[in-house]
Structure 1
Amino acid sequence: MRQVILDTETTGLEVQRGHRLIEIGCVELVQRRATGRTFHSYLNPDRAIDEGARAVTGISDEFLLDKPRFRDIVVEFLEFIDGAEVIAHNATFDVGFIDAELARAGVENARLADRARVLDTLALAREKYPGQRNSLDALCKRLGVDNSHREMHGALLDANLLADVYLALTAGQGHLGFADERTPAEVRAVAAEMQILVRPRVLRAPDAELALHAARLEAIDKASRGACVWKRLDAQ
């Protein structure tokens, strides 16, 4: 299974008021393992960033002036997420902004859900931890994910954190025998990577050690007047 962990940063909180994307970050997982492939881009929104958004992201209007617009990166972005399961925290927020940008760019089937299945980790967390705080920071703390380097919000940084949170949140779900879609060759490759010995290696004692062992049993047998259990077993 191919999954894409996605996060975005925006000029403000309300897409209905014309707020825009300023950063997209994606991390690829295949069979619940990070592949090292990412997609990341800052975006020129053609409008000012709200003060609150500047405070949490550290991104300034000036920084984005020479960055590409969404229409410039939309083909590469869609190629990265097409056919995958897209995983986002509070997915309604991210998907709403992406859908608005797709429509603005004139993309056919201008909805993310037309390109990929979407999974919301906030909904998963609320189901698993009802009545508790389920922000990304709260989940990192609860699930033991190190987020000490998260001084500001950032799309790629948060996507990497969310990948760890998602794997911890859903631990065990990919290991049921009837749900495992891996081929035997893939299973063997994973076993080799994890240094699992599929066939036990037999180490035989050298002759010198066998001689010492026999001498020791003989000494025990003499001391116990023929009651050495191991010698009787060897004789059977």
Structure 2
Amino acid sequence: MSDREVLLDTETTGLEAAQGHRIIEICCLELRNHVPTGRVLHRLVDPGREIDPEAERIHGITRASLIGKPAFGEIADELLAFLGEDPIVAHNAPFDIGFINAELARLDLPPIDPARAIDTVALARRRHPGLPANLDALCRRFGIDISMRTTHNALLDCQLLAQVYLELLGGRQPGLGLAPAARGAVRGARAAAPPTRRPRPIVPSAEELAAHRAFIASIEGALWARLEPETYGSATTPR
């Protein structure tokens, strides 16, 4: 079984692919063992239509900024090659897969099987039932910095979702996956060389000793005076 997954996010001209809305930004981020490898596909796309004002308010991408960008048909082969046959991780996966399949249908290309998708919204709701499952809420819950997320952006959202996805899977820290032999070597090294603590003796000053002797002398029948009469004097010293 492949350890590769592709994390995916899109921005669109509106919310309904069935109403002719189109993809305007797409980002794919490669994961190995759930951790980003650094391989990224990020493209802006000219949708050939206007962007709904509400959608523009959310992602901040204007129609004018997309003039001259490639159409979806020009990046389709590159996108499909990057996706390969591996699982696709997306936040609200039915939305992203639905838009990609609508674009592929316009090109008479076969759709992506929705069964390939891993929906992190569904994953979050199973792990934290009753709590908000939007990306901002999940980032706050897991202590992930979202100060840069002033608008939705497919590239930034992918980078944030990669961290959220790792937390939803149990929070395994990348780079700590030691092989069994390495783990054994670490345990052996710890057993062979246990940590040592340097003693820190406390030595009272002459003034502190004198004050203590005077205090003991003021106690009638003091135990310390019986045990060490040469130090504290008679145990019958009156108060």
How high is the TM-score relative to the length of structure 1?
Answer: 0.72
Query: 1:187 maps to what in 2?
Result: 179
Give the Cα–Cα distance (whole angstroms) in 1 for the partners of residues 44 and 116 of structure 2.
24
- 8 A contact 2:5–2:30 mirrored in 1: yes
Structure with the greater relative contact order (CA < 8 A, sep ≥ 6): 1 or 2? 1
Unpaired runs of 5+ in structure 1? 175-181, 205-236
The 1:131/1:203 distance shift into structure 2, 3 A limit, reads closer
User: What does the per-residue CA deviation read over 1:35-70, in whole Å, with 9 as the maximum and x for residues that have no partner?
Assistant: 100010000000000001111111110110110011
The 1:198/1:80 distance shift into structure 2, 3 A limit, reads farther
Query: 1:136 maps to what in 2?
Result: 135
Query: 1:99 maps to what in 2?
Result: 101
Q: Does residue 1:21 correspond to 2:20, yes or no?
A: no
Q: Which amino acid aligns with 1:2?
A: R
Name which one, 1 or 2, has greater alpha-carbon Rg.
2
Unpaired runs of 5+ in structure 2? 194-239
- 8 A contact 1:11–1:53 mirrored in 2: yes
Shift of residue 201 of structure 1?
A: 9.1
- In the comparison of the two structures, how many residue pairs are matched? 188
Q: Does residue 1:111 correspond to 2:103, yes or no?
A: no
The 1:188/1:203 distance shift into structure 2, 3 A limit, reads closer
Shift of residue 166 of structure 1?
A: 0.4
Shift of residue 133 of structure 1?
A: 1.0
The 1:62/1:7 distance shift into structure 2, 3 A limit, reads same
Query: 2:73 maps to what in 1?
Result: 71
How high is the TM-score relative to the length of structure 2?
Answer: 0.71
Query: After TM superposition, which residue ranges in structure 1, 4 or more long, deviate above 6 angstroms?
Result: 201-204
Shift of residue 198 of structure 1?
A: 7.9
User: What does the per-residue CA deviation read over 1:156-195, in whole Å, with 9 as the maximum and x for residues that have no partner?
Assistant: 1101111100001111689xxxxxxx9xxx9389x6xx9x
The 1:166/1:202 distance shift into structure 2, 3 A limit, reads closer
Matching residue within 52, 56, 59 for 2:58: 56
Q: Which amino acid aligns with 1:83?
A: E
- 8 A contact 2:166–2:172 mirrored in 1: no
Q: Which amino acid aligns with 1:36?
A: G
The 1:13/1:102 distance shift into structure 2, 3 A limit, reads same
Query: 2:229 maps to what in 1?
Result: none
Listed as ranges, the matches of 1:1-236 within 5 Å are: 1-107=3-109, 110-113=110-113, 117-171=116-170, 187=179, 197=186, 200=189
Give the Cα–Cα distance (whole angstroms) in 2 for the partners of residues 63 and 111 of structure 1.
29
Residue identity (%): 48
Cα RMSD (Å) of the superposition? 2.8
Query: 1:208 maps to what in 2?
Result: none
Q: Which amino acid aligns with 1:112?
A: I
